[in-house]
Amino acid sequence: MDKNKVYIFDTTLRDGEQVPGCQLNTIEKIQVAKALEELGVDVIEAGFPISSPGDFNSVVEISKAVTWPTICALTRAVEKDIDVAAEALQYAKHKRIHTGIGTSDSHIRYKFNSTREEIIERAVKAVKYAKKYVEDVEFYAEDAGRTDNEYLARVVEAVIKAGATVVNIPDTTGYCLPAEYGEKIKYLMEHVDGIDNAILSTHCHNDLGMATANTMAGLLNGARQCEVTINGIGERAGNTSLEEVAMIMKCHNDINLHTDINTRKIYPLSRTVSSLMNMPVQANKAIVGRNAFAHSSGIHQDGVLKNVTTYEIIDPKDIGLDDNNIALTARSGHAALKFRLEVLGIKPSKEKLDILYQEFLKLADKKKEVNDDDLLVLAGVERSENQHIKLDYLQVTSGMGVRPVASIGLDIAGEKFEAAASGNGPVDAAIKALKNIIKRNMTIKEFTIQNITKGSDDVGKVHMQVESDGRVYYGFGVNTDIITAAVEAYIDCINKFSK
């Protein structure tokens, strides 16, 4: 075994996907899983099968679609969960069950109303039960970050004895300091009998902005697997980002750790995940943010022009950010569009490319230059072509001194409907007109408009949350006309609750 190899366990499709509004359908999950396989991850956590039929189905389909990485399914330390996970994994070429239970005093007392001894018994029982189905069983000690080290060592020893191949030490609440988390891993490496029979894994949340630092501290002290997500997405402040730990290990030869990640695939996959999940990457995000390689101060620009290493520690090509990041225009042909989409990790069929090309031409007519972000949005628009309710047309009159008025046309499963309304603003008028057709109790809970790059000809992205019958639905719209984008986001929500 290569002692310096770090196994990359990607949980974008499980922990990452738990973020409200980031849910993907099965086809989108397969797209991400295949891209993760090409990226070179070792393990893909594909879902929590007992949690919903959708999650179950995704684990089944990802298991069929992917060959090399191990497919992992999450469970609680509950027999029924493990039965369902084993069933979902039936087609996986390499499979792992990830079972576990909370081990901090707070979890033991308030979540389980139990005792430390009873928790060890339940942990051992779950691992033994999972071993009946698969050889590769990972155990997670939830809230290990706040678990007393001596007790944690007893838990880890017991589950390794029961057959766990990997033991996950999650800093579930993102509370640990890097030195503290590193110490924890070191303590386990030094005090657990049989530690050589398993791999310790890091799983660090980013609540205090220390996820990557904690993960690296864990790896430097003996952990050999890290659990990460693309762009660091995940519940609350997110998980450790894959791209950060992969690039740290690539840049720092001095620490002598390596992964099998093909780092040139990082950037396209980052954009794909951001686009599919409607989750913008912050501009100054390490490695994949828009400004990560942009030198704007005069002193920096001067230095970089003289010698790029003066201010750049990473060659942008190493993450797949190519120099020819040229915006397309209305005069660009099919081939240029296809090339650019492929650079971004999108490989459309001939028919899909034709549809996308028509959408691209419409956008290029409105916007002089169509850039990578626009293309990803277009690919997303194409995804929603076969929605039940579609916007046929929208006309809005608004401005200083006039009451905004909107008329709208909807296509509902092929049937045409029209209505008009006025409101206190153009969006209000358009939504009221729409509600004159779809008469249902619906309230907007959140509404954000963002530009993608800059300029008054930019594309506007709208994220919306609409409540209906006590449930909240997330919708997304994109258009150079922000009123249209808002109405499209609203319709996206309606399409979700009328499914």
Task: Say which entry of Zn ion, ligand KIV, none residue 244 contacts (CB below 5 to 8 A, set by partner kind).
Answer: none
Of the pair 111, 362, the CB lying nearest ligand KIV is at: 111
Binding to ligand KIV by residue 382, rule CB under 6 A?
no
Of the pair 10, 15, the CB lying nearest Zn ion is at: 15
Give the interface segment with Zn ion, choosing from 9-17, 308-316, 321-329, 455-463 (CB under 5 A): 9-17
**Angle between helix 242-251 and 211-220 (nearest 10):** 50
Full DSSP string of 366-411: HSS-B-HHHHHHHHHHHHTTT-SEEEEEEEEE--TTS--EEEEEEE
What distance in Å separates the CA atoms of residue 428 and residue 334, rounded to the nearest whole number? 39
Binding to ligand KIV by residue 372, rule CB under 6 A?
no
Q: What's phi and psi for 192, nearest 5 deg?
A: -95, 120
Single residue of 172, 221, 387, 398 touching ligand KIV by CB under 6 A? 172
**In 10 A of CB 157, how many CB atoms?**
19
Binding to ligand KIV by residue 15, rule CB under 6 A?
yes
Owner of token pair 């979890």? 107
Return the residues of window 202-221 that contact ligand KIV according to CB under 6 A. 203, 205
Task: Say which entry of Zn ion, ligand KIV, none residue 476 contacts (CB below 5 to 8 A, set by partner kind).
Answer: none
Here the tokens at position 219 are: 């790896």
Instruction: Classify 323 as helix, strand or coil.
Output: coil
Q: Which residues of 372-384 are buried (b: 16+ CB within 10 A; e: fewer)?
A: bbbbbbbbbbbeb
What distance in Å separates the CA atoms of residue 195 and residue 160, rounded to the nearest whole number? 7
Task: Say which entry of ligand KIV, Zn ion, none residue 140 contacts (CB below 5 to 8 A, set by partner kind).
Answer: ligand KIV
Of the pair 234, 426, the CB lying nearest ligand KIV is at: 234
**Beta bridge pairs of residue 100:** 140
Size of the site for ligand KIV (CB under 6 A): 8
What distance in Å separates the CA atoms of residue 40 and residue 36, rounded to the nearest whole number? 6
Total residues belonging to the chain: 499
Task: Say which entry of Zn ion, ligand KIV, none residue 225 contacts (CB below 5 to 8 A, set by partner kind).
Answer: none
Q: Which residues of 416-433 are buried (b: 16+ CB within 10 A; e: fewer)?
A: eeebebebeebbbbbbbb
Task: Say which entry of ligand KIV, Zn ion, none residue 142 contacts (CB below 5 to 8 A, set by partner kind).
Answer: ligand KIV
Single residue of 7, 129, 140, 473 touching ligand KIV by CB under 6 A? 140
What distance in Å separates the CA atoms of residue 133 and residue 86, rounded to the nearest whole number? 6
Of the pair 48, 360, the CB lying nearest ligand KIV is at: 48
Of the pair 142, 492, the CB lying nearest ligand KIV is at: 142
Half-sphere exposure of residue 25, counting CA atoms within 13 Å on the CB side?
A: 6
Binding to Zn ion by residue 15, rule CB under 5 A?
yes
Single residue of 142, 243, 374, 492 touching ligand KIV by CB under 6 A? 142
Here the tokens at position 325 are: 């990041």
Give the interface segment with ligand KIV, choosing from 31-39, 167-175, 259-267, 447-455 (CB under 6 A): 167-175
Binding to Zn ion by residue 243, rule CB under 5 A?
no
Q: Give least dist CB 35 to Zn ion, A.
A: 21
Binding to Zn ion by residue 138, rule CB under 5 A?
no
**In 10 A of CB 118, how many CB atoms?**
12
**Angle between helix 372-383 and 266-276 (nearest 10):** 50
Half-sphere exposure of residue 469, counting CA atoms within 13 Å on the CB side?
A: 7
Of the pair 29, 76, the CB lying nearest ligand KIV is at: 76
Q: Give least dist CB 86 to ligand KIV, A.
A: 18
Q: Give least dist CB 360 to ligand KIV, A.
A: 39
Q: What's phi and psi for 60, nearest 5 deg?
A: -60, -50
Give the interface segment with Zn ion, choosing from 13-21, 128-136, 358-366, 442-450 (CB under 5 A): 13-21
Q: Which pairing describes strands 415-422 and 405-412: parallel, antiparallel, or unpaired? A: antiparallel
Binding to ligand KIV by residue 170, rule CB under 6 A?
yes
What distance in Å separates the CA atoms of residue 281 and residue 271, rounded to the nearest whole number? 8
Return the residues of window 186-205 that contact ligand KIV according to CB under 6 A. 203, 205
Of the pair 73, 247, the CB lying nearest ligand KIV is at: 73
Binding to ligand KIV by residue 76, rule CB under 6 A?
no
Of the pair 203, 461, the CB lying nearest ligand KIV is at: 203
What distance in Å separates the CA atoms of residue 491 and residue 434, rounded to the nearest whole number? 9
Q: Give least dist CB 170 to Zn ion, A.
A: 6
Give the interface segment with ligand KIV, choosing from 29-37, 166-174, 256-264, 272-280 (CB under 6 A): 166-174
Of the pair 169, 391, the CB lying nearest Zn ion is at: 169
What distance in Å separates the CA atoms of residue 65 and residue 34, rounded to the nearest whole number? 7
Site residues, Zn ion (CB under 5 A)? 15
Site residues, ligand KIV (CB under 6 A)? 15, 140, 142, 168, 170, 172, 203, 205
